[in-house]
Structure 1
């Protein structure tokens, strides 16, 4: 049954190997027996894996991509005549609306709180940003009336009560969850994910000065102009700031290889205080935990509650140098407790904060949409 259902995942904004899209959702549906294809801008150096690509051209200009990329995506998608169209970008909302027919399904996968995020961006002055956010919400409301909604964060249900939470928990990998870590001589902090100012780029840049001989490694795409600003901010400690992704995308395998290394003192997420991240449970939290690392993060109330629940990290004011220094020294001077924090986090991920549970929910949603009953033979 599932093999006869054509599924097209669509993105013009994300990297084709985005972990949530490719390695989790597309791979899980393919494993379940669905006929899955990913429509995305695909660089020539990326080879197809188990999930085939429907490649789109990549535009250097963000605005050209929004206009021409979206139009191309619509015509390519329409030709596929899929049973399920699964869109991952707000730019594709009009495309999803046009693709929706009586005999198919369209899913909008909400990765971010876009309404709040637009207001936070610095591209325009605040009144313009608020107006754009207002227009976005109106367009989203109209376009999604006949769509299924998938939510990457639990708190999004406050805005989308009919959405289904398919949380962005990590894949369980024995090579990471099985690492026996030692914190006796740990001298490095780890950050993974895109590097931007609202994700703490400048706060992380000053971390090397929090303790003697402390190295900070950031694995993720970092614009070259921001990298230069971070090095300037680090000042005399710039040599201890290591940017793996300056001007280029860092693939998942390289990030996994970083997690597998020893010598990490903690995984960090010192984000400046903004409404956009106030309630989010960051994907990197779960990845740090899965790898057996303590978490050093900002003291947002929701983040502090999370750390207190799982006793897996330390929260600090991201603008308070003394608090940060004390937290780093606490971890350095108490390697046994640092290891215990990491093990408590790892245990929570192994037991319930992992992709396996979300995979079951995703497959169940697809089965319901396509009239496939629980336990029904999928003809594989």
Structure 2
């Protein structure tokens, strides 16, 4: 089957898109990816057997994507490119990643081909925490309630729906938007052949070889609990003199986080590594003693998975996570870490100190997580439903 995938951003990087495409290619399908290019990349490129088709757009189009469901400008500007892609490719099915580009694709298709809508997250819910939605003109022009209504309509207009967790599936079904047989749950796990085969950067290991390292990977926005992690270091340092918090990632609030670290008197205990390529994630994880995911509670975090959890587990590291529903359920089920109430820096610190003081517990939890990824929480297993769905199409 010839599958046309659609992405409203540049590619690479996007681990979920790449993982899905690779597993479908392995299953015998031909995958072509439509992506938007804001940086002057090659118009056509083959990456891991994925044929990438890039359509050049200007920065205005990029900015208009934030207003995709306020005004029709974004969709109107990209519809000609979508139509050109479909007409040239003549695919058997359309697979849309996330909702930003979905309306344009579904409108151009006009019911001719089967549509698979792949929601990587509950976009309207996470948007409630975006800076540009809560400040200035964005606060006036962007309505998350409207995005929520549009998301429901897009789900109804699709033939099949892909979600990341059972919790998200239950939410959709409770609204009567889709039948269970038309929903496939595909968690954001790792593709072992990619993630575990990145070469280790010895310089990262050397740089952190004399400290007790607490690692956070990913977006550093406040909603991710990075401020909670920084505040916990004020407590941790009294019990773990050589403790170091390593933040690998970035966001628009990084300066606020650095100021917070200074205010808390722990700026010398926090390493702000900035954005790093995913190929370096195994090196940072290997250099760490404990890995954390201190997400704050909201509907989005409670119904999705953070990639970092499975990346930590794959490397055999004990995890400390907040009680955000989906990640807490995995940690309890697999006995691979400890849980603390979200936004409680005292209890986060206590769980980290407990693992520092109990090497045997830390090792056992880490090994449990590693085995869980080998047996269950890896892309080869969690993608089975995706492959089966395409067999029915």
Which TM-score band (shorter chain)? 0.7 to 0.9
CA pair 229-39 structure 1, distance change in 2 beyond 3 A:
same
Residues 303-357 of structure 1: per-residue CA shift (max 9 Å, x gap)? 4443222211111234333322222221111112101100011111211121112
d(CA) in 1 for partners of 2:195, 2:152:
43
Equivalence for 1:375: none
Cα distance 1:154–1:186, how it changes in 2: closer, same or farther (>3 A)? farther
Is residue 121–residue 129 contact of structure 1 (8 Å, CA) maintained in 2?
no
In structure 2, list runs of 5 or more residues that go unmatched: 69-73, 174-178, 201-208
Change (3 A) 1:301 1:368: closer
Pairs within 5 Å for 1:222-301: 222-223=250-251, 225-235=252-262, 236-246=265-275, 250-259=276-285, 261-262=286-287, 264-300=288-324
Q: Which residue of 2 aligns with 1:29?
A: 24
The alpha carbon displacement at 1:13 in A equals 3.4
Change in 2 beyond 3 A, CA 1:31/1:164: same
2:59 & 2:291 partners in 1: Cα distance?
32
For the pair 1:198 / 2:223, whether they are aligned, the reply is yes
- When the two structures are superposed, what TM-score results if normalisation uses the length of structure 1? 0.81
Q: Is the 8 A contact 1:9 1:37 kept in 2?
A: yes
* Contact preservation (8 Å) 2:116, 2:158: no
- CA distance in 2 between counterparts of 1:59 and 1:188 reads 42
What does residue range 56-205 of structure 1 map to in structure 2 within 5 Å? 56-57=55-56, 59-60=58-59, 62-65=62-65, 66=68, 67=74, 70-71=78-79, 73-79=81-87, 80-100=89-109, 103-124=112-133, 132-143=143-154, 144-161=156-173, 162=179, 163-173=183-193, 176=196, 187-205=212-230
What residue in structure 2 maps to residue 54 of structure 1?
A: 53
Unaligned runs of 5+ in 1: 370-380
Distance of aligned partners of 1:305 and 1:140 in 2 relative to their CA distance in 1, 3 Å threshold:
closer
CA distance in 2, matches of 1:167, 1:129: 34
Measure how far apart 1:73 and its partner are. 4.5
Check if 1:7 corresponds to 2:17: no
What secondary structure, in the 3-state scheme, does the structure 1 residue paired with 2:368 have? helix
Distance in 1 (alpha carbons) for counterparts of 2:338 and 2:165? 22
User: Taking structure 1 as reference, are residues 364 and 269 closer, same or farther at Cα in structure 2, changes over 3 Å only?
Assistant: same
**Against the structure 1 CA distance between its residues 98 and 306, is the aligned structure 2 distance closer, same or farther, given a 3 Å change threshold?**
same
Deviation at 1:136, TM superposition (A): 2.4
Q: 1:354 aligns with which of 363, 378, 382?
A: 378
Distance in 2 (CA, whole Å) between partners of 1:11 and 1:354 is 23
Q: TM-score, normalized by length of structure 2?
A: 0.79
- Between 288-297 and 95-104, the greater mean CA deviation after superposition: 95-104
Contact 2:128 2:134 in 1 (8 A): no
Measured in 2, the distance between the counterparts of 1:275 and 1:110 equals 15
